[in-house]
Amino acid sequence: MGELLNLRRGMAQLGIAPLAAPAASEGAAFDPLAMLLAEVAMGNERAFARLYELTGGRLLAIARAITGRSDLAEDVLQDSVLRVWRWAHRFDPAKGSAYGWLVRVVRNRALSAKAALQRRERVQEPIDAETMVLGEPDPADRAMRSEDARRVNSCLANLPANHRRSVTLVYFEGLTHSELADRLGVQLGTAKSWVRRGLAQMNRCLTGDEAGGRELVAAEYAAGALQGAVGRGFERRRERDARYCRAVDLWEDRLALLTEFLPDSGPAPVQVWSRIEQSLARERIAIRRPLIWQITSGVLALAVVALLIAFFRPGGG
């Protein structure tokens, strides 16, 4: 809870309302983290440090929930935050909330790190993401969750058990439909049906409307269920039709709100920030070295030109 308290205190210091992630994507409210990301995109290191202070603990909780290991989660957090520094210019507030974008960066990196670890160690330790997300927090902790997060979590909690577990396993563990079927011991068609029905029921709960085919396939893609050739096929379709882009952005923001209910990791870890600062310092040195060489080369070239002009000038030499 401390991290969310810090987040809201920070927003109060800025004189703006607490974050409500999906509202930004629907144009209903100002997104304070988007302001910080805009500053980061311009190279503002103070804004970068503030962004880390406000979100680092929550992002670490996401990485830990996916990887199941604290040491690996810290590595994921470090790598993800550095990617945010380098990629901040890619964030488009018209496509969704800043928090949702940050969650996607960390989730993708955590899933990749977990897959690499499993390939290397030939082990797979399932995490109980469903219990972590749906576990009952204390009343004070629950009060600090955004209204939108409480709505999304409530809709997930009200799903039939098989549908709820399927959605959480796909989103937090990055399981494909085939992997989900193996995990749950059911037929592939059954696993696909549970995911799709769960997402359809969540949409009905959140909007009061039945989801169309476009919304459902976008929801499955946002949850991570569409991978391989199927995922690539959807991406090609999304490139041709902006309506799929909007649907994916909306669902990614909705699902990102589930991370507010993960166990609190406390404040953003100082040791990770120290490593991030060291990496940034090395990058500045790496950038400065070729710049110094270019300046030195330019000065030498000018000196040579000046000598040649002096030598060939009438009366010179």
Contact 11, 18 (CB under 8 A): yes
Cα 234 from Cα 225, distance rounded (Å): 11
Contact 56, 42 (CB under 8 A): no
34 compared with 10, residue with greater pLDDT: 34
Tell me the whole-structure pTM to 2 decimals. Answer: 0.76
> What is the pLDDT, as a whole number, of residue 121?
65
> What is the pLDDT, as a whole number, of residue 297?
59
Q: Please, which pLDDT band fits residue 299 given cuts at 50, 70 and 90?
A: low
Provide the domain limits for residue 298.
269-317
Q: Are residues 150 and 288 in the same domain?
A: no
Cα dihedral across residues 216, 222, 223, 225: positive or negative: positive
Residues 6 or more apart in contact with residue 176 via CB below 8 angstroms = 225, 227, 228
Residues 6 or more apart in contact with residue 101 via CB below 8 angstroms = 37, 91
> What is the pLDDT, as a whole number, of residue 115?
83
Flag whether pLDDT at 138 surpasses 60.
no
Q: Are residues 259 and 276 in the same domain?
A: no
How large is the average pLDDT for residues 121-133?
A: 55
Percent of the chain with pLDDT over 70: 72
Q: Are residues 145 and 283 in the same domain?
A: no
Q: Are residues 160 and 31 in the same domain?
A: yes
Supply the Cα-derived Rg of the chain in whole angstroms: 24
> What is the pLDDT, as a whole number, of residue 114?
87
Q: Rounded to whole angstroms, what are the CA distances from 31 to 18, 38, 168, 283?
A: 9, 11, 26, 30
- Write out the DSSP string of 265-290: --SPPHHHHHHHHHHHHHHHHHHHHH
Q: Rounded to whole angstroms, what are the CA distances from 289 to 102, 276, 293, 297, 302?
A: 31, 20, 6, 12, 20
Q: Are residues 273 and 247 in the same domain?
A: no
Q: Are residues 253 and 293 in the same domain?
A: no
Cα 165 from Cα 163, distance rounded (Å): 6
> What is the pLDDT, as a whole number, of residue 14?
41
Q: pLDDT for 259-274, tens place per residue? A: 888 877 788 899 999 9
How high is the mean pLDDT of the chain? 80
Q: Are residues 222 and 297 in the same domain?
A: no
205 compared with 130, residue with greater pLDDT: 205
State how many domains the chain has: 2
> What is the pLDDT, as a whole number, of residue 155?
94
Cα 105 from Cα 21, distance rounded (Å): 15
Q: Are residues 182 and 231 in the same domain?
A: yes
Percent of the chain with pLDDT over 90: 44
Q: Please, which pLDDT band fits residue 16 given cuts at 50, 70 and 90?
A: very low
How large is the average pLDDT for residues 157-184?
A: 92
> What is the pLDDT, as a whole number, of residue 282?
84
Q: Are residues 169 and 276 in the same domain?
A: no
> What is the pLDDT, as a whole number, of residue 313?
64
Q: Are residues 83 and 205 in the same domain?
A: yes
How large is the average pLDDT for residues 130-142?
A: 53
10 compared with 253, residue with greater pLDDT: 253
Boundary of a domain, candidates 231, 247, 268? 268
> What is the pLDDT, as a whole number, of residue 174?
85
Cα 289 from Cα 92, distance rounded (Å): 32
Contact 137, 61 (CB under 8 A): no
How large is the average pLDDT for residues 234-240?
A: 88
Flag whether pLDDT at 27 surpasses 50.
no
Q: Are residues 128 and 263 in the same domain?
A: yes
Task: Lowest mean pLDDT of 20-29, 87-96, 162-171, name the range.
Answer: 20-29
Boundary of a domain, candidates 268, 286, 304? 268
Place of tokens 């029905």: 197
Q: Rounded to whole angstroms, what are the CA distances from 182 to 102, 166, 176, 217, 264?
A: 30, 12, 10, 22, 30
> What is the pLDDT, as a whole number, of residue 47?
93
Tokens of 2: 């401390």
Q: Are residues 35 and 8 in the same domain?
A: yes
Task: Lowest mean pLDDT of 69-83, 116-130, 177-191, 273-287, name the range.
Answer: 116-130
Flag whether pLDDT at 140 surpasses 60.
no
> What is the pLDDT, as a whole number, of residue 286?
59
135 compared with 210, residue with greater pLDDT: 210
> What is the pLDDT, as a whole number, of residue 228?
83
The alpha carbon torsion through 55, 61, 150, 98 (nearest 10 deg) reads 30
Distance of CA 228 to the CA centre of its chain: 21
CB count within 10 Å of CB 257 equals 24
Name the amino acid, one letter, at 205.
C
Count the residues in the chain.
Answer: 317
